[in-house]
Chain A
Amino acid sequence: MTITVNRRPAEHVEGETVGDLLKRMKYSFPLVVVKIDGRVIAKSAFSSTPIEDGSSVDVIHLTSGG
């Protein structure tokens, strides 16, 4: 029961959503783009999108400045 988060293995938790995973990984909330198996997940769907076992999740962090 594992998933991949930013190319590293992590435990798969049954029923966990994108929002839960971000909290578990301690990733800061508003500043990320999330892709699951290459599919972009809208921020508005973070709390309703479950992470399936075996998923590959990219959490792309963005830092202010320009």
Chain B
Amino acid sequence: MALARAGVGRLVVVDFDNVEESNLNRQYYFLDQVGRPKLECLRENIERAVRGCQVDMVDMKLERGSMFRPFGDVDVVVEALDRASTKAAFIEEVMLRLPEKPIVAASGVAGIGASERIVYSRYGKLHLIEDPEARSSDDDVLLAPKVCLFAHYQANVVLEILLEVNG
């Protein structure tokens, strides 16, 4: 949503899930969208918010070996996954299979407060936004303030990369 508002012209969004009521404490959906596919709802919300952002929907579950495929022709890959094991597999696969592609990832988004712990590190093409002391979401809450802080930090890094790539 932040990228669309900032004027990014095309987003490729990969998801397989439906909106659940438990997503609404942090994700950009509405009560009347519960039960519907996230892809469709996100596109609808972006189209209600701004003009000129094309949302390409890829309805697939990311599985090892094929998770890099939808991202062949994008300028930047954004990791917005939940499980740490999937995050690690996704980052590893994108960096191995699409070595020239910048990837912006987040880690440690659970919890309340401690915004000052959030740091940005760069490892080659991997840009990581992390709270190194955060607990896993299995042991701590996921709420809009911190999750969105990360998401917007990621979006801000994406803009920086896009400006470098496209001048």
- A complexed with B: yes
Residues of A within 8 A of B (CB): 30-33, 35, 38, 40, 42-43, 58, 60-66
Measured CB to CB, the closest approach of chain A to B54, in angstroms, equals 24
B68-120 at interface with A (beta carbon < 8 Å): 80-85, 87-89, 91-92, 95-96, 99, 105-110
Contact across chains for A64 and B91 when beta carbons are under 8 A apart = no
User: Do B81 and A35 have beta carbons less than 8 Å apart?
Assistant: no
Tell me whether B136 and A63 are in contact (CB under 8 A): yes
Interface secondary structure of A, over-half rule: mixed
**A58 contacts B136, C-beta separation under 8 Å:** no
Do residues B83 and A64 form an inter-chain contact, with CB atoms below 8 A? yes
Please state if A63 and B91 are interface contacts (CB–CB under 8 Å).
no
Asked if B10 CB lies within 8 Å of chain A CBs, one says no
Interface residue B128 (Cβ < 8 Å from any Cβ of A): yes
Which among B92, B95, B108 is the interface contact of A63 at CB below 8 angstroms? Answer: B108
Which among A40, A43, A58, A62 has the greatest number of chain B C-beta atoms within 10 A? A62
Q: How far is the CB of A60 from chain B (nearest CB, A)?
A: 6
- Which residues does chain B contribute within 8 Å of A38, judged by CB atoms? 123-124
**Residues of chain B with a CB closer than 8 A to A40's CB:** 92, 95-96, 99
Query: Which residue of the partner chain B has the closest CB to A41?
Result: B92
Shortest Cβ distance from A12 into chain B, in angstroms?
21
B147, A65: Cβ atoms closer than 8 Å = yes
Q: A31, A42, A43, A63: which contacts B135 (Cβ < 8 A)? A: A63
Which residue of the partner chain, among B92, B99, B124, B131, contacts A43 with CB atoms under 8 Å?
A: B92
Q: Does B25 contact A (CB under 8 A)?
A: no
CB of B137 closer than 8 Å to a CB of A: yes
Q: Which residues of B contact A43 (CB under 8 A)?
A: 88-89, 92
Distance from B103 Cβ to chain A, minimum over Cβ atoms (Å):
10
